[in-house]
Amino acid sequence: MACDKSKHTYRFGESEIGLRPISDHRLSAGYENYRLQYLSSPGETNGLLLTLNVQTYDYRSNAKGIGIKVLIHDQNDPIFIKESGFAVMPGRKALVSVIKKQVVTSPPPHGTPCRRSDTNVKYSKTLCMSDCKEEYIVANCKCQMLHQRVSI
């Protein structure tokens, strides 16, 4: 996979350690007119190698944790980094193997297209759980975060 600098985005957000820059490093895989790359053999010398500077000196002394969170997902899926992914401690090496698994439902009338009716976002179990949680909070507490899609 080739790293595409134009696809890197940076934003500030609230995390468990306070206000910190949150990086979203996207790798160009499957973009239009871009051939997907596959590995034929496993191992440490094959595949993607990243070296990240976590900058531990920028963290508060009472931080709950320091490190990075990795989430590998389909480029069309919504990103739920808090609910998914895995954490890597600074100063450690992580060897990760990934296998894509796809679940295909039966066509109507037995199954339904897995898409939200109000958007063209591909539906997933994680998105469904997030929507249910948001709808429950709105219905019972009459409050919501600014980013939530549910209307009161």
pLDDT tops 60 at residue 16: no
| Residues pairing with 3 in the sheet | 27
Q: What are phi and psi of 57, to 5 degrees?
A: -70, -15
pTM over 0.85: no
Mean pLDDT of the chain: 67
Q: Pairing state of beta strands 9-15 and 2-3?
A: unpaired
Q: What is the pLDDT of residue 148?
A: 57
Tell me the per-residue pLDDT of 64-120, one tens digit each, with 9 for 90 and over: 778 888 887 776 677 777 777 888 888 888 888 777 777 777 776 665 555 555 666
CA 30 to mean position of chain CA atoms: 17
**pLDDT score of 15:** 41
